[in-house]
Amino acid sequence: MKAEDVIEKIDEGFAQEAPQKPRAYIGASIIGNPCLAYLSFCLRGYPDTPPTPRLKRIFEAGHVFEDLIVKHLKNKADVRVWEKDGLTGRQHHYEEMGGHIACNMDGHIELDDGELRILEIKTMNDASFKKFQKSGVKISHPSYYAQLQMMMSMSGFRQAFFISMNKNTSEYHAEIVSYDELEKNFLEHRASQVLRGDATRISKDETDWRCKGCFKREVCWNEIEPPRACTSCVHASPRQDGLWKCALTDEEAREPCDKYSVFKAKEFT
């Protein structure tokens, strides 16, 4: 077997993995995405465009680094970290509207001042890391800042400890981020747009760079259809209890009927 054959087999192994079930909620990690169509398709559980083997490895490496960073925080910095919920054994989870809006945290952290904060961990390439160092997360990574604000809003925390590792140099940089009422109100407005069915595309052209890298690009630009279900029907909307309501019957949406019409994104204007 040649060296390049080994690499090819690795890629084949990743490609043969069963696709992960797409999210069916508005998550804190995506609320900062500027495209309402993307958020709407996530809420409704539309299928993702499969990630490449290379991208899967990036995600996998990110999880490995998260565990390493927690280890460094605990064993080197000697701070207290709760990366798992003691009651569930899983990530700390908060939700609203019966789960239509949700967030999962990397952990809770207590520094030497005794205050409990949200812990959020990211790895960055060198260029991205330097932007964070220079400008702070609000300017350098608005989507991460939005994630932190949504998590604080949902959980009641008023500060977050945001730490990043430079994947090129293993250098660390961290910032304590405070609750931002104006940002929270802006995010709530965006979420309300999505919940009421506003799915406007961010671009008029699928060749836009933001669309090329989007996991919902195939369903957005009608290359594939979402599964036939009430959640993918234009007449369905999310309820406060986590279920869906049919606008035609004003009752719980359970099974697609002959009035089913697929929910699509609005044209960019």
- Please tell me what DSSP assigns to residue 116: E
Report the distance separating Cα 31 and Cα 112, nearest Å: 31
What pLDDT is stored for residue 223 in this prediction?
A: 80
Q: Shortest CA distance to 31 belongs to which of 44, 47, 42?
A: 42
- Please tell me what DSSP assigns to residue 62: H
Burial classification of residue 78, based on how many CB atoms lie within 10 Å of its CB (0-12 exposed, 13-18 middle, 19 or more buried): exposed
pTM score of the predicted model: 0.93
What pLDDT is stored for residue 15 in this prediction?
A: 86
Contact between residue 101 and residue 190 where contact means Cβ atoms under 8 Å apart: no
| Both tokens assigned to 16 | 């043969």
| Pairing status of strand 159-166 against strand 116-124 | parallel
Per-block average pLDDT, block size 10, for the chain (269 residues)? Answer: 85 86 94 96 95 92 94 97 93 96 97 95 97 98 98 97 97 98 96 94 93 94 91 97 96 95 92
Residue type for 179, please? Y
Phi, psi at 53, each rounded to 5°: -55, -40
Cβ atoms within 10 A of the Cβ of 90, count?
9
What pLDDT is stored for residue 193 in this prediction?
A: 95
What pLDDT is stored for residue 65 in this prediction?
A: 95
In this structure, the dihedral spanned by the alpha carbons of residues 103, 87, 156 and 185, taken in order and rounded to 10 degrees, is 20
What pLDDT is stored for residue 188 in this prediction?
A: 96
Domains annotated for the chain, with CATH where assigned, are 3-252 (3.90.320.10)
